Amino acid sequence: MVAAGKARVDSPPLTLPFDGGGKGGGGVNAGRRVSGDSTPPQPLPIKGRGLEPIWAVLESVPDPEIPVLSIVDLGIVRAVEAERVVLTPTYTGCPATQVIERDVRAALDAAGYRRVRIETALSPAWTTDWITPVGRAKLHAYGIAPPTAPGQGTPECPRCGSAHTDEISRFGSTPCKSLWRCLDCAEPFDLFKCH
Ligand SMILES: [Zn+2]
């Protein structure tokens, strides 16, 4: 028996690389709201056996644009094997890509995995569907609306949950986000949109 509805995220307490800036103190409570329902089909990354320590290293590497997410949450780690790690960049030309590769190299080296190569796979292309349920919950807790599926309509306000939202600008604080505003609570928020 699996106690559904009691989704608990087994991740260590989040340590934010920077102070959230005090916007509403939006408590980073990533353990909530892991919706077990509409999980989109996603190609699962290849997890070689006995490689948990390397996964743990990768989970410590934050996405440079959204540091609340690790690159594992983001779904760009496609395979971990004894001698290589395969990454799929979020989208070609994303300036974060090189930063991520550099950070992964540094993290692997620091953990003693100098012999592990980093390879890049461009196909299949990353989509926002690959963001893990944990990653979506973290985005939401951080006040960024997780990406919406095509035809799903406007994103929900991460603050009050209203679907009564309006796009202010196609480009938010980074190219991967657009800026929206909630018409009910009047709060602006970022929508993660790259796919
Ligand atoms: Zn709202």
| Reduced 3-state DSSP string for 83-124 | CEEEECCCCCCCCHHHHHHHHHHHHHHHCCCCCCEEEECCCC
Model confidence pTM above 0.75 = no
Q: Distance, CA 184 to ligand 1 centroid (Å)?
A: 5
Q: Distance, CA 132 to ligand 1 centroid (Å)?
A: 24
Domain limits, the chain: 46-128, 143-192
pLDDT at residue 171 greater than cutoff 70? yes
pLDDT of res. 15:
39
Burial 128-166 (b: 16+ CB within 10 A, else e): bebbbbbbbbbbbbbbbbbbeeeeeebbbbbbeeeeebe
Q: Distance, CA 159 to ligand 1 centroid (Å)?
A: 5
Q: Distance, CA 63 to ligand 1 centroid (Å)?
A: 26
pLDDT of res. 39:
43
pLDDT of res. 48:
66
pLDDT of res. 9:
43
Q: Distance, CA 36 to ligand 1 centroid (Å)?
A: 23
Angle at 43 between CA 41 and CA 48, to 5 degrees: 140
Q: Distance, CA 12 to ligand 1 centroid (Å)?
A: 29
Which tops the pLDDT comparison, 149 or 105? 105
Which tops the pLDDT comparison, 80 or 29? 80
Beta strands in the chain (DSSP E): 46-47, 77-80, 84-87, 117-120, 144-145, 165-169, 177-182, 188-192
Q: Distance, CA 179 to ligand 1 centroid (Å)?
A: 13
Give, in words, the CATH class of 46-128.
Answer: alpha beta
Q: Distance, CA 1 to ligand 1 centroid (Å)?
A: 37
Q: Distance, CA 98 to ligand 1 centroid (Å)?
A: 35
pLDDT of res. 146:
82
Residue 188 DSSP SS3: strand
